[in-house]
Homo-oligomer: A and B are copies of this chain.
Amino acid sequence: MKPEEIRFDDSTGLVPVVVQHHSTGEILMLAYANLEAVKRTVETGFAHFWSRSRRKLWMKGEESGNVMKVKEIRVDCDGDALLYLVDPAGPACHTGQKTCFHNSLNV
């Protein structure tokens, strides 16, 4: 599948991106991408996303230095979700934790 064939959401122009450590398999974060973010990721080899809160394109780690080298991009069966397999330079989470999914749901 080509980047132009990804089924971005009709209203937001975004798809969710699951970010997984390429060697440990740990899920590091979930973020969103538009077509430009996917193209920049492909061009540069580093994970780019669309920030919904700041309404701008961002490269993960552009401020913290914790960039993510993207080894592979996968697309799901209906083309509306992506998986970035990455080699991260540091913690994924702004809290300093390795992964953003460090809390369990208490039930």
Chain A residues with CB under 8 Å of chain B are 1-3, 6, 16, 18, 20, 24-27, 29-30, 38, 42, 72-78, 81-83, 93-95, 97, 100-107
Taking CB as reference atom, which chain B residue is nearest A28? B76
State the CA gap A29–B80 with chains docked (Å).
Answer: 11
A18 engages B27 (CB within 8 Å): yes
**Minimum CB–CB distance for A10 against chain B, Å:** 11
* B100 and A77 contacting across the interface, CB-CB below 8 Å: yes
Grouping DSSP codes into helix (H, G, I), strand (E, B) and loop, the A interface class, with mixed when no group exceeds half, is loop
A42 touches B107 (CB 8 A): yes
Q: Which residues of B contact A25 (CB under 8 A)?
A: 24-26
Residue of B nearest to A95 (CB): B77
CB-CB < 8 A to A42: which residues of B?
105, 107
10 contacts between A and B (CB under 8 A): A1-B103, A3-B105, A6-B105, A25-B25, A27-B27, A38-B105, A72-B104, A75-B104, A76-B100, A76-B103
